[in-house]
Each structure stands twice: as structure tokens, then as C-alpha cells.
Amino acid sequence: MELKHIFDKVKETFDLENEAREKGLALSRDCIQFCANSIRAAHRGDRDESVRLHAAAKDNIEKAHVLLAPFPRIYYAGFLQDAEKEFAEASATFALIEEKPLPMPEELEVGVAPYLNGLGEAIGEMRRHVLDLIRVNDLTKGEYILGVMDDVYYLLASVDYPNAITAGLKRTNDMVRGVLERTRGDLTTAIRRQSLERTMKELEEKLIEKHEP
């Protein structure tokens, strides 16, 4: 029995899928790298570099969507969703540092599950940002960021669906809860220290005034 026509069809299909997969993997890996560097630049205060890298990540996401759309099995293999999650994390981190509204999933053109997990991961970056604010004694902004972290935690906690739907969101939110509580403790300590320093300074000034001739 001659089966070459079957082999030819199978080979054609797999060749196309394999080519799309390899290109999609490369785009996704580069996107993740762009996102990590964009976050790093945002923490350094290099806004222009962060925006440039964010734009490069967005371009890769868009190209991957177009490339993989004809191949649903490859599209949902997981690596594109990982890139979407990292892109959502970078976008949320930048927005929070800039004190801008959080972008919506459709604005970023990412799936809802990667978006929510990326939002959770951004809370870890916000802990780093709050610690930076504590070091420069900007506790007012630190309290604002902590409030946003709290809001995100309760948002994620309210999404009560199976892990198969949310891509493991409960695990992400468990991490968020731990990060939130540690950050709250660090900020509370810093606020108390600032209050004590202020009180001691006021007392010192009063003592000086009292002993002045």
C-alpha cells in the first residue's frame, strides 16, 4: 500500500508547526528578556529606557500572536502565555511606579489568566520599590504603594476559579500575601522610626530654647 501521500501531508503540517514554534519561542524569550530589563530600568529611574524596552516587548508579543494564530496547539503550548505574563508584570510595574492607572488586559492584548498572574508578580516588584522609597525616606509614597498592593491582593483573592482556568493564580496570590505582610511590617517600622526621630528633634529644640539666655 502506497502511503507516501499521507507522509507528505504529515510532514508539511509538522514542518509548518515546528517552524512557527521555533520562531514563537524566540520571540517569547526575547520578550521576557525585554520585560525584565524594562522593570530594571524602571527601578533605576531610567524612564526612557524602560519605555523603549517595554515597546520592544509589546512588538514581540504582537508578532508572536500573528505568527501562532494559525496553530492553536502551538499558540496555547504555554511559552506565549509565559511571555504575556511577563509583559503584564512589566506593564503593571511601570504604571505603579509612575502612579498611573493599571492597564487592562485588552489594552495589553494578553489573556486574562496571564494578566492576573503578571499583576501578582508585579507586587513583588512593588516591595522592592517600597524598600527604595524607605531608603530615601519617602514614606508617603510608600504608604500609597502599599495601599495599591493591598487592593491588588484582594482583587486576586476574589477570583475564585479552578487553577486550570486561572493558571495557578492561587499560588501567585499566596506569594502576594507574604510579600504584602513583609512590606507592611517594614513600612510600619520606618514610619515609627520617623515619628520617633521627629519627636526627639522637637524635644531637643525645646530643650535648647529653654536653656537659651
CATH code, domain with 65: 1.20.58.2140
Q: Are residues 83 and 118 in the same domain?
A: no
Question: 51-55, 66-70, 89-93, 206-210: which range is least confident on average?
Answer: 206-210
Where does the pLDDT of residue 212 fall: very low under 50, low under 70, confident under 90, or very high at 90 and above? low
Q: Are residues 3 and 105 in the same domain?
A: yes
Query: What's residue 110's pLDDT?
Result: 96
Q: Are residues 209 and 124 in the same domain?
A: yes
Query: What's residue 194's pLDDT?
Result: 81
Q: Is residue 6 pLDDT above 90, yes or no?
A: no
- Residue pLDDT, tens place only, 117-169: 999 999 999 999 999 999 999 999 999 999 999 999 999 999 999 988 999 99
Which residue from 137, 122, 153, 124 is spatially nearest to 187, judged by alpha carbons? 137
- Residue pLDDT, tens place only, 181-206: 999 999 999 988 887 767 776 666 66
Q: Are residues 87 and 165 in the same domain?
A: no
Would you say the C-alpha torsion 189, 194, 199, 201 has a positive or negative sign?
Answer: positive
Query: What's residue 3's pLDDT?
Result: 80
Provide the domain limits for residue 27.
Answer: 1-110
Which residue from 121, 127, 130 is spatially nearest to 173, judged by alpha carbons? 121
Q: Are residues 105 and 117 in the same domain?
A: no
Q: Is residue 213 pLDDT above 70, yes or no?
A: no
Domain boundary among 54, 87, 110: 110
Q: Are residues 45 and 92 in the same domain?
A: yes
Where does the pLDDT of residue 210 fall: very low under 50, low under 70, confident under 90, or very high at 90 and above? low
DSSP 77: S
Q: Is residue 179 pLDDT above 70, yes or no?
A: yes
Q: Is residue 9 pLDDT above 70, yes or no?
A: yes
Question: What pTM did the predictor assign?
Answer: 0.88
* 185 Cα distance to chain centroid: 22
Query: What's residue 203's pLDDT?
Result: 66
Domain boundary among 110, 127, 155: 110
Average pLDDT over all residues of the chain: 91
Domain boundary among 66, 87, 110: 110
CA distance 171 to 156: 11
- Residue pLDDT, tens place only, 97-124: 999 999 999 999 999 999 999 999 999 9
Query: What's residue 115's pLDDT?
Result: 97
Q: Quote the number of domains for the chain.
A: 2
